[in-house]
Structure 1
Amino acid sequence: VMYGTVTMTIPTTIKPDNMRNLVEHFPQLLTSLRLDEALLDISNKYHKEGLSGICFLGMGGSSITGNYVATLLLEDSEIPLYIVRDYSIPTFVNKNWVVIAVSYSGNTEETLSSLSMATKVGCRIFAIASGGKMTSDAKYSLIHLPKGLQPRATLPLMLSAVLPVTETLLGLKKTNFQELEEILAKKATTWEDWLAPPSEVAHLFYEKIPLFIGTKHLVPVAYRAKCQINENSKALAFYSEIPESNHNEIESFVDTYGCSVIPIFLRSNFETSEIERRLSVTCDLYNEMELGPLNLRAHGKTKLEEMLLLTHFLDMVSVELAELRDVNPVSVERITELKHRLSD
């Protein structure tokens, strides 16, 4: 059994019960974590031993990290990167696989169930949690996060743990998080210059149903945006991906039963000519249907930069929308009630 520890320097300016404050700290949270070298040594050892695939376990705000990492690294990976958001892992995830389990609370029942299966079949395991059952009887490499934050606000924190571990497992060059933090912090001070003021975009979403549309590495970003509008703004939102949604969803706007839908295209500087053409034609069609689509482009130098710039921006939009709707972005009463009833 090997244990890896991490040291955390959570910025003292963080207010865990203030979502705007947490979102403002997004860039800083990318570098608040110091991974133990021993953890990366273990990852490197597994890489040298060889592995058949990497499986990411998690639910909700804790699962989004695996989603970002798997999508980002898929093109460079020679092995499958598989995401599980459920009670069980598939049979092909066997002892030759590495499993990365993420649960901020350490008590997420679906994740604990999948993790116990992974342990039984003899997978090599990394677990990331702030406490709970996952940290109490850990027989695996553990990354211990600080308690008291909102799981969905810890994406940058979790990313700074999961990405280096996965890059090492795959033998890929490691991301420079220091550089990322500087870029994100700088860009956040001038959103209105290169994108739009988050409050203005929130006004466009008011009393409408946002539909976030992504391609390739921006699909998880579209999904994250939908979830943030759901949880922070307490509003309905959807996401879809192109090219797939060109084969079905595009037919659905003939009658939206009095609901206003606003499509938001997440645009990338890395689009292939086929995708670029699809997006522009789809956007034209949506304009003709008078849906008033938005195009948001991040202008990042790398795919990860684009993902995080748009994520940070849309996280802030969800907080602005919560204020417009006069709801508390931190509370999740229905999720809490559901968990309460399930535990009875």
Structure 2
Amino acid sequence: MPQIAATAPDPDDMRAAVRAHPDHLQEGWERGGAVESFDLDASSLNGVVVCGMGGSAIGGDLVRTLVEPSSPLPFVVNRGYTLPGWVSEKTLVVASSYSGGTEETLSAFGEATERGAQIVAVTSGGTLSERADADRTVTIPGGLQPRAALGYSLGVLLRLARSMKLTDLPDGVVDDALAAARDRAGRYDQDEDGNAPRDLSAAFVGALPVVYRGVGLLEAVGMRWQTQINENAKHPAVGNVFPELDHNEIMGFESGPEDVLSTMQVVVLRDRDDHAQIQKRFDATRRLVEGSVGGWHEVETDGDSRLSRMLSLVQYGDWASLWLALRKNVDPTPVETIQQLKKTLA
């Protein structure tokens, strides 16, 4: 197959940003060391709420799925203008806005301030930086699309979770995960057959990617796949989680329009620690559905730790979305429809 990237438009070099994800993650982790001086005591809190939208929120979702098995506190992500009613002075609210100007996050930040919540800001600047307490702000580098800055915000939130003892994350585990991520970045950047995310992207051209995964570690990873395909490739993608989809969505394959079903390329994200019953559901659902859709693909996590395995499929999806954009000759960086919507709302 001929090279894809040689003539594809990428003037702002999104490819370099995707390749640099491991470096961003390491810097985010290092900058996140500042939270250790914030004196955050999990034993005095009733929960952690990460407020954000889009690329500034997905890091919170990834940390949520990582810490859920061990966290002594509820850890939730809030995508909206208002906060849950239970948020109080006993709640840690993390306002995450890469630009510092996300209107939903600023609204929730204002409400958190009124309620006397403990607040930490994660931003590259903007209005949030101006309004937040400088002694409770972690500043991350600007200049990227928010989705391309995931490594920075994720690194900060991982460091925060460890400092609050929401999860056990030794330095050696982080170092190993970063080394594996750098290795993957080098392999997935190769414009040649045998590069798994590049090869998978070919199945998405002219098709509807459907991203399935189990509840747990890969729940938020699947969301990342969907939104990266949307924003990088300007391409529709949908998804759902097991076991819920087996209680409703599976019926849509029974007598759905053949011309619709034939365009669906199902990708199932799998992890070795998926619940045994969910693993059975993967296989049983495949037997029932595969013959009705255009394609069925399964992608396994890679790595020893939960962190490394989670990162392995974040990277896989990011690269698949980038290669899809380049295959389509679509510039992966701009999000003009989102900008038009913001102007209309303004």
State the Cα deviation string for residues 43-100 of structure 1 (Å, max 9, x = none). xx32266111000100011010111111110110122112110000011011101011
1:229 aligns with 2:192: no
More displaced 10-residue stretch of structure 1: 251-260 or 126-135: 251-260
Q: Under a length normalisation based on structure 1, what TM-score does the superposition of the two structures give?
A: 0.89
User: Aligned partners of 1:178 and 1:157: how far apart in 2?
Assistant: 16
> Counterpart of 1:31 in 2: which secondary structure?
helix
For 1:150-189, list aligned pairs within 5 A.
150-170=145-165, 172-176=167-171, 177-189=174-186
- TM-fit CA distance, 1:291: 3.8
Q: Is the 8 A contact 1:168 1:174 kept in 2?
A: no
Query: Secondary structure in 1 aligned to 2:116?
Result: coil
Please list, as runs of the form range in 1=range in 2, the aligned pairs for 1:86-235 lying within 5 A after superposition.
86-139=80-133, 141-170=136-165, 172-176=167-171, 177-190=174-187, 197-215=196-214, 216-235=216-235
Query: Are 1:233 and 1:319, in contact at CA under 8 Å, matched by a contact in 2?
Result: yes
* Aligned equivalent of 1:40, options 30, 36, 39: 36
Please identify, of 164-173 and 108-117, the stretch whose mean Cα deviation from structure 2 is larger.
164-173
* 1:283 alignment partner, SS class: helix
Identity of aligned residues (%): 31
| TM-score normalised by L of structure 2 | 0.89
Unpaired runs of 5+ residues, structure 1, are 1-14
Separation (CA, whole Å) in 2 of partners of 1:54 and 1:170: 13
Amino acid at match of 1:233: A
2:248 is matched with 248
Runs of at least 4 residues off by over 4 Å = none
- 1:111 positional shift: 0.4
1:76 aligns with 2:70: yes
**Cα deviation, residue 256, structure 1:** 3.9
Q: In the alignment, what sits opposite 2:7?
A: none
Q: Secondary structure at the match of 2:233?
A: coil
Q: Aligned equivalents of 1:175 and 1:102: distance in 2? A: 24
Quick one: structure 1 residues 188 and 35, their matched pair in 2 at CA, closer, same or farther if it must change by over 3 Å? closer
**Deviation (angstroms), 1:331:** 0.6
Higher mean displacement: 103-112 or 25-34 = 25-34
- Find out whether 1:66 has 2:60 as its counterpart: yes
Q: Match of 1:6?
A: none
Q: In 1, Cα distance between the equivalents of 2:178 and 2:34? A: 24
Q: Does 1:28 align with 2:23?
A: yes
Partner of residue 305 from structure 1, selected from 304, 308, 312? 308
CA distance in 2, matches of 1:49, 1:301: 30
RMSD: 2.0
Partner of 1:332 in structure 2?
Answer: 335
What does residue range 310-321 of structure 1 map to in structure 2 within 5 Å?
A: 310-321=313-324
**Partner residue in 2 for 1:8:** none
SS in 1 for 2:163: helix
* Equivalent position of 1:258 in the other structure: 259
Q: What SS does the corresponding residue of 1:46 show, helix, strand or coil?
A: coil
> 1:149 deviation in Å?
0.9
- Structure 2: any 5+ residue segments left out of the alignment? 1-9
Say which SS state the counterpart of residue 280 (structure 2) adopts: helix
The residue that corresponds to 1:12 in the other structure is: none
Amino acid at match of 1:228: Q
Name the SS for the 2:26 alignment partner.
coil
Report Cα offsets for 1:288-321 as digits up to 9, x if no partner: 3244210000222122212111111110111111
- What residue identity is the alignment partner of 2:104? E
Separation in structure 2 between the aligned mates of residue 291 and residue 282 of structure 1, nearest angstrom: 15
Moved more, 253-262 or 213-222: 253-262
SS in 1 for 2:40: helix
2: CA distance, partners of 1:71 / 1:229: 21
Call closer, same or farther: CA 1:190–1:137 in 2, change over 3 Å: closer
